[in-house]
């Protein structure tokens, strides 16, 4: 899908804070919105055909955009961010980095 994805992902991260920690839920919300805007069929095989034809934003584009937005705007980080950072620090210490 040929959309400028950054403002769309940012809107969802602001609107639904629960989506900040789950790329799967974020993708599902965006795809549902895209399908509803196109009045597209919603059966699973139809979804797969839409996705394969490039009519939906790729999951990787959504994930990368979410990651970049959370890097640039700490307010958009999820509740699990601090826990992941602490675990990363501990792992680095244990590995001697």
The pLDDT assigned to 41 comes to 61
> What is the DSSP code string of 20-62?
GG-HHHHHHHHHHHHHHHHT---SHHHHHHHHHTT-S--HHHH
pLDDT in tens, 46-73: 888 888 888 899 999 999 999 999 999 9
Instruction: For the chain, give every domain's residue range.
Output: 5-95
The pLDDT assigned to 1 comes to 45
pTM score of the predicted model = 0.74
pLDDT in tens, 16-49: 999 999 999 999 999 988 888 877 666 777 888 8
Looking at residue 97, the DSSP 8-state letter turns out to be -
């Amino acid at each position: 899908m040929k959309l400028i994805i950054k403002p769309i992902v940012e809107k969802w991260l602001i609107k639904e804070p629960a989506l900040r920690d789950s790329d799967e839920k974020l993708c599902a919300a965006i795809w549902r919105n895209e399908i509803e805007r196109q009045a597209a069929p919603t059966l699973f095989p139809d979804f797969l055909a839409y996705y394969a034809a490039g009519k939906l934003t790729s999951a990787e584009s959504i994930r990368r955009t979410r990651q970049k937005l959370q890097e640039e705007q700490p307010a958009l980080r999820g509740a699990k961010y601090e826990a992941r950072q602490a675990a990363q620090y501990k792992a680095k210490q244990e590995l001697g980095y």
